[in-house]
Amino acid sequence: MTTLSEEDHAAQMESMNAFDTQLPCVGIFWYDLEEKTLFSVRKKELSPKEAEDAAEKGVPFINYPQLHRQVWAKEYYRAQAKNIETKFIGDYTKIPHGRVAWNINKFIVLVGKWAEPIQDELSELIEQEFSLPYFEFVYDRHWDLGHGWSGDMK
């Protein structure tokens, strides 16, 4: 057996970098109705091993580790501090938003009724942005416009 030189190894690794694409992701997003785009997407790759480990431990959901309200507040204050124009003004629950999660054996996208009329175009954006091979939209009233994290409703 021959061994690659350090130089050949580096060249091989560089060549393989072109094949390294994003794994499927869990995350959160908002949808801009006027521009018909996702914005402020936050995501985390999910490896098959992570999904298998969660299943073995009986964990039903794998989520992105931040809430919409946390991201919204951070972006609002950042824009204020830098005196820049921002979409992060007002009530974050009034802007269409959703969450991509892993649920036992499939990716799900949690959304409100706002998504029904644009489901086809939204599917394409989410599939591309989160590198999802397959997913199912799941409706939950929590994601309807005007609803947010239950801790906000006290």
DSSP the chain: -----HHHHHHHHHHHHTT--PPPEEEEEEEETTTTEEEEEEEEE--HHHHHHHHHTT--EE--SS-HHHHHHHHHHHHHHHT---S--S-GGGS-EEEEEEETTEEEEEE-GGGGGGHHHHHHHHHHHTT-S-EEEEE-GGGSTT---GGGG-
The mean of the pLDDT values for the chain is: 90
Tokens linked to 121 = 């175009």
Summarised one tens digit per residue, pLDDT across range 76-121 is: 999 999 999 999 999 999 999 999 999 988 999 999 999 999 999 9
pLDDT for res 154: 39
Q: Where are the domains of the chain?
A: 22-153
The conformational region for residue 110 under phi > 0 = left, psi -120 to 50 = alpha, else beta, is beta
Q: Which long-range contacts (CB under 8 A, 24 or more apart) does 21-25 make?
A: 21/131, 22/131, 23/47, 23/131, 24/107, 24/130, 24/131, 24/132, 24/133, 25/100, 25/130, 25/131, 25/132
Q: What is the pLDDT of residue 14?
A: 78
Nearest by Cα to 30 from 19, 20, 41? 41
Residue 10 has pLDDT above 60, yes or no: yes
**pTM for the structure as a whole:** 0.84
